[in-house]
Amino acid sequence: MSLPRKTAVVLFNLGGPDRPEAVRPFLFNLFNDPAIIGAPGPVRWALAQFISRRRAPVAQEIYEHLGGGSPLLPNTEAQATALEQALGGDARVFVAMRYWHPFADETAAAVRDYAPEQVVLLPLYPQFSTTTTGSSITDWHRAAQKVGLDVPTSTVCCYFGNSAFVESIAARIRSVLDDQPESTPRVLFTAHGLPKKVIAAGDPYQWQVERTAEAIAQAVDRPNMDWVVCYQSRVGPLEWIQPYTSDVLEEAGRAGTPVIVVPIGFTSEHSETLVELDIEYRELAEEAGVPTYARIETVGADAPFIGGLADLVASAVSQNDALSSDGGGCQCPEAYKGCAFRAA
């Protein structure tokens, strides 16, 4: 593959602390984001200080399981390297994290120095949310203006039904099912949850997650496969979208049903897969009586998935539109006012 012009591709991801001392400032950056806590600036700052100070010890214990820091940056850099190789030619892939290094300011300066003819913003969140991709887009445009990066920019907002993404996960599920020919497991499509009020305000995330699950189930193509969409990583006192992954595991335990846990909102391994799913939820499942707990790996730098991302970049470059999706344009029902196309 070769792009028609010198292109900088910027991969968006959450970021993660790289050492124990970085946990608290990372948490502060997260909770000080107006897309996460919508309170006025001074109030949000105070809340972020309080929450990050309170949650830091618990979060540090989580990262101790991972050697003291998050593997998200090296895993994202591996995806960037694979994508750059897939694109070939005069394309370079950069990484911009939202809440820890490399921040958008650092990456925007590096992109400016590269002097591309076009920039493509590509989130590593398959499903759009105002709290993830939306926040990163806003932050990127602030950073680009700050460093004087004034280049035609195209944004891929989502690819929740992308065939390469879907098939990469479906192939993993089929492999596990083939290893358990006598078993009838329940497939848990799990994704990071959100407070219900975010969805009620028009965020399309839950709708897109459900479409992803439907597409994967169809691609697996196993008659009568038992599957459910559920949500993890809930924090705080607010009611979040349901069912909760923990509750679904407990139900499976009561029924004596094996489970296959499939993360569909994450594209690389990090604390919410390696600790929450692999350690905490596995222990919960064992205590609940789940007979078999299998967890599907994220797509990572899987060649078909990376090829799908390359196709998204090529399409964005050829169309040269400010905003695009895997389906070309807006795919969300009208009720979702937080859709990137409607908010643009």
pLDDT in tens, 122-174: 999 999 999 999 999 999 999 999 999 999 999 999 999 999 999 999 999 99
Half-sphere exposure (Cβ direction) of 175: Cα atoms closer than 13 Å:
11
74 Cβ neighbours under 8 A, 6+ residues apart:
none
pLDDT score, position 15? 98
Q: Mutual orientation of helices 72-87 and 303-319 as an angle, nearest 10°?
A: 60
- Give 193's DSSP letter: -
Structure tokens at 246: 């923990």
Q: Once rounded to an integer, what is the mean pLDDT over residues 312-321?
A: 91
Q: Which of 40-49, 110-119, 291-300, 326-335 has the lowest mean pLDDT?
A: 326-335
302, 299, 285, 298: which is closest to 185 by C-alpha? 285
Mean pLDDT of 35-62: 96
CA distance 131 to 250: 29
pLDDT of amino acid 292: 95
Q: What six digits make up the tokens of 250?
A: 């407990």
Here the tokens at position 113 are 């120095």
Tens-place pLDDT, residues 244-275: 999 999 999 999 999 999 999 999 999 999 99
Identify each DSSP E strand in the chain by its residue range.
7-13, 91-97, 118-123, 153-156, 186-192, 226-232, 259-263, 293-295, 323-324
**320 falls in which pLDDT band (50, 70, 90)?**
confident
Backbone angles phi, psi at 2, to 5 degrees: -140, 130
pLDDT of 344? 73
Q: What is the mean pLDDT of the chain?
A: 96
The two beta strands, 118-123 and 226-232, are unpaired
pLDDT at position 195 over 80: yes
Once rounded to an integer, what is the mean pLDDT over residues 320-340?
92
Q: How many CB atoms lie within 10 A of CB 139?
A: 20
Residue 4 pLDDT more than 90? no
> Could you tell me the pLDDT band of residue 82, with boundaries at 50, 70 and 90?
very high
Residues 6+ apart with CB under 8 A from 148: 112
Q: Band of the pLDDT at 183, cuts 50, 70, 90?
A: confident
pLDDT surpasses 80 at 182 = no
Q: Is the pLDDT of residue 2 over 90?
A: no
With cut-offs at 50, 70 and 90, classify the pLDDT of residue 1: confident
Q: Which domains does the chain have, with CATH numbers?
A: 7-159+302-343 (3.40.50.1400), 163-295 (3.40.50.1400)
CA dihedral (203, 252, 279, 211) in degrees, to 10, reads -30
CA distances from 221 to 10, 170, 255, 262, 302 (A): 34, 9, 24, 16, 21
What was the pLDDT predicted at 37? Answer: 94
The answer, yes or no, to whether residue 343 has pLDDT greater than 90, is no
Which pLDDT score is estimated for 238?
Answer: 87
